[in-house]
Amino acid sequence: MATIYSEQTPRAVSPSQTDDTVAHNAGAPGSEGFALPSWLPWLGGRVLSGLATAFVISVLVFAATQALPSDPARVILGPDATEDSIRVLQQQLGLDQPILVQYGRWAARAMTGEFGVSLDSNVPAGQIVADRFGNSAALMAIVLVLAVPIAFLGGVALAIRRDSRIDSWTMNAVILFKALPGFVLAIGLILLFSTTVFPILPAVSLIDPAISPFLQPLYLVLPALTLILTVAPFLLRLVRSAMIETLEADYVAAARLRGIPERRVVWGHAVPNALVPVIQGIALTSRMLLGGGLIVEVVFSYPGIGNALNAAIELRDVPVIQVITLTMAVGVVFINLLADVATVLVTPKLRTSSRPRLRAGTRAKLKLKAGGV
Amino acid sequence: MSSGLSTLRRGPQARLGFAFAATVLVVALLGPLAAPQSPLGLVGPTYGLPGEGTLLGYDYLGRDVWSRLLHGGRSVLWMSFAASVIALAAGAVIGIAAGLSKRWIDHAVVWGTDVLLAFPDLILVLLVVSMLGREPWLIVLTVAISFVPGVIRLARGVTLGVVSQEYVEAAKLMGYPWWRIVLLEILPNISTPLLVHLGIMLTWAIGMLSGLSFLGYGVAPPAADWGLMINENRAGLMIQPWAVLAPIAMIGVFALGTNLLAESVSRAGSRIAVRKGVKSRARTLMRGNKRRLRESQS
């Protein structure tokens, strides 16, 4: 009975339709599996727009650090430096040249991964970031690997039990954790787990740089827990509202009326259609992790790029500031690109059209909806 | 909106949020009048514990924590209000203009917001503050700039929804000048989502500004400020926890209160709160009343 009306096997029901969409990729090998995907031109355009964004970001970073009315040489040397030493440093940094020449040189060097020498420690700035980046990436990976499945399963479960007691209690807890700023949460956890109540975990992450951070899990627990507690509520809420919206759609009601088991309705019909906001939400999450990670890394003295940026800003170490902000912002652009590609791939309507149009501002809207930072 | 306000008053969440936020507001605004000591005076032993004459003990220099707590709220309050209001004003103007203007200008504005949204908010603010210095107005302005893209997106979206309505068309046909259409036809109809967003931005601003002063980029050191107090006394967490716990509690309670308020306002503003059951029950009641009225008349 069910198979006659089921939308589970559209290919078998209408093979001619799927063929139509693939057929216009002329010149592709005959087998369907090897046909060039029709969204490839869109991907090219999207990559170009991402590159343009990265270019504007590099201009912004350069402008903020070298072209603002404040003189970097004066900022670096402090208020009571002599005019001579300022002039020497200006020459060293190339600040006596016109601003466009400065940007051209800086960008050309940046393209080759050469960002100049840290003013503080005489180590190449790129080297500092490379050393610290692994630690931050490890922390982010742990947070995402734990937070995304928890939030996803929890969100689906809560959407099914909408308005039950568990749901309302969890939503209250979500608001609580969403409201607390990251450092409040971090110090609260330190008070709870490393000083007064249960003194079991280290308050400071003294990670040995020679060994992979994954092998020193004790130092990762508190920073990761703080970030999970800031990120998971946001995602959980996103999944829950997306699922509630989908579960109220007509096709879900139709599937239920056809007598399809509830489990299959939820996981086979509703979840795939609730994936888009979740993917964009994960992209937003990684942006939150980069910003929120800075404060958490500072609180726990975790040797990541956030902590390095904080130290560099305190010392006015311009090359390090430039390379870290640039890495973070370009990283966000790249993650957004990946999220857009994933969105196109999971949405059949977008995947098969030759000109997929993501609704503009999906991310901005999600950000408003979930109230993230 | 009146029905929204009445549901707001009835909601326990909104009440709790209002109580929290109002408590912190009162402490921050009237606190300096009630402080027993000067916030800068060295009046006790370093990391002195709470005892006689001091409610919360002394901090790392021997200043009275309770007096500093009462003095330390004003900065984060006015700065977060100012940043949100500036961001709302600037973003609304640009967003409405983008929504009304030609296609390519609109596209350029949207793309510009995309670029700014690629910076993690805190990083953008840190970048500017570290290079230009930490005058309060500068911090307020940078935080506002980091919020503007979101407001632009929102204002543009709701403007596009309103512009195609008949009453705007009618106003255009009547030959009204553009500023009259914007001020009297469009603005009143998009003000609700914008004001809801103001509340949300306020909660972000509190988190970000207290975070900034915690990192040491906010108010300059001798002054009293909650975020700064946490940072200063963090080393003595084991000896004198109150010097850290008290300002953390204030920031936490304030953030929670404003969040609860913003949540319930936004729920009252959107129509999610009206559940089907409630609506249909109201309709049944109304029909019953009408029938009774008709019967009594006949």
Tell me, what's the pLDDT at B1? Answer: 45
pLDDT single digits (tens) B80-129: 899 999 999 999 899 888 888 877 888 888 888 878 877 777 788 888 87
Q: Are residues A364 and B204, on separate chains, in Cβ contact within 8 Å? A: no
Cβ under 8 Å to A: B residues 188-207:
197, 200, 203-204, 206-207
- Tell me, what CATH number does B199's domain have? 1.10.3720.10
Whether A302 and A142 have beta carbons less than 8 Å apart is answered as: no
d(CA A231, CA A293): 11
Contact B229/A at CB under 8 A: no
d(CA A232, CA A278): 12
pLDDT single digits (tens) A316-349: 777 788 888 888 888 888 888 888 888 888 877 7
Q: How far is CA B141 from CA B94, B129, B209, in A?
A: 16, 10, 12
Whether B227 and B213 have beta carbons less than 8 Å apart is answered as: yes
Q: What is the mean pLDDT of residues A47-69?
A: 79
pLDDT single digits (tens) B52-88: 667 777 777 777 778 788 887 888 888 889 999 999 9
Q: Which has more confidence, A20 or A93?
A: A93
Q: Is the pLDDT of residue A312 over 90?
A: no
Residue type at B127? L
CA nearest neighbour of A187 among B230, B213, B57? B230
Q: Which has more confidence, A151 or A373?
A: A151
Whether B95 and B152 have beta carbons less than 8 Å apart is answered as: yes
The dihedral region occupied by A133, where left means phi > 0, alpha psi between -120 and 50, and beta the remainder, is alpha
Tell me the backbone φ, ψ of residue A54, rounded to 5 degrees.
-60, -40
Q: Is the pLDDT of residue B205 over 70?
A: yes
- pLDDT averaged over every residue in chain B: 78
Beta bridge partners, B51, equal B54
Confidence of residue A225 (pLDDT cuts 50, 70, 90): confident
- DSSP class of residue A214 equals G
- pLDDT averaged over every residue in chain A: 74
Q: Is the pLDDT of residue A253 over 90?
A: no
Tell me, what's the pLDDT at A20? Answer: 41
Contact A179/B at CB under 8 A: yes
Tell me, what's the pLDDT at B7? Answer: 58
Q: Which two tokens stand for residue B177?
A: 């000048």
Q: What is the mean pLDDT of residues B22-44?
A: 77
Q: Which has more confidence, A365 or A198?
A: A198
Cβ under 8 Å to A: B residues 128-157:
128, 130-133, 149-150, 153-154, 157
Residues with Cβ < 8 Å from A284, sequence gap 6 or more? A234, A363, A366, A367, A370, A372
The counts of H helices and E strands in chain B are: 13, 0
Q: Which two tokens stand for residue A368?
A: 């408003």
Q: B216: distance to nearest CA of chain A, Å? A: 9
Tell me, what's the pLDDT at B245? Answer: 82
Burial of A299 by CB count in 10 Å (0-12 exposed, 13-18 middle, 19+ buried)? buried
Confidence of residue A371 (pLDDT cuts 50, 70, 90): very low
All residues of chain A having their beta carbon less than 8 Å from the beta carbon of residue B113 are 364
Q: Which two tokens stand for residue A287?
A: 């942006």
Q: How many domains does chain B have?
A: 1
Q: What is the mean pLDDT of residues B169-185?
A: 83
Q: Are residues A57 and B132, on separate chains, in Cβ contact within 8 Å? A: no
Tell me, what's the pLDDT at A76? Answer: 65
Q: Please report where in the chains the tokens 């509340």 appear, as a residue.
A: B199
Q: Which domains does chain A have, with CATH numbers?
A: 126-346+361-369 (1.10.3720.10)
Beta bridge partners, B54, equal B51
Residues with Cβ < 8 Å from A175, sequence gap 6 or more? A233, B256, B259, B260, B263
Which of A178, A183, A196 lies nearest to residue B211, judging by beta carbons? Answer: A183
Whether A339 and A280 have beta carbons less than 8 Å apart is answered as: yes
Please report the number of interchain residue pairs, chain A to chain B, with beta-carbon separation below 8 angstroms: 151
d(CA A86, CA A92): 10
Confidence of residue A240 (pLDDT cuts 50, 70, 90): confident
Q: Is the pLDDT of residue A254 over 90?
A: no
Tell me, what's the pLDDT at B82? Answer: 92
Q: Is the pLDDT of residue A19 over 60?
A: no
Contact A370/B at CB under 8 A: no
Q: Which has more confidence, B43 or B194?
A: B194
How many beta carbons lie within 10 A of that of residue A32, not counting itself? 11
Beta bridge partners, B58, equal B64
d(CA B68, CA B40): 8
d(CA B66, CA B71): 9
Residue type at B75? S
Q: What is the mean pLDDT of residues B195-219?
A: 83
Tell me, what's the pLDDT at A71? Answer: 64
What pTM does this model have? Answer: 0.76
Q: Is the pLDDT of residue A96 over 80?
A: no
Whether B218 and B212 have beta carbons less than 8 Å apart is answered as: yes
Report ipTM for this prediction: 0.74
d(CA B90, CA B101): 16
Torsion of CA B18, B19, B23, B29, to 10 degrees: 30
Sign for the CA dihedral angle at A84, A89, A95, A96 comes to positive
For residue B219, the enclosing domain spans 2-297
CA nearest neighbour of B43 among B60, B29, B62? B62
Contact A104/B at CB under 8 A: no
Contact A294/B at CB under 8 A: yes
d(CA A76, CA A118): 12
Q: How far is CA A325 from CA A305, B53, B274, in A?
A: 10, 48, 45
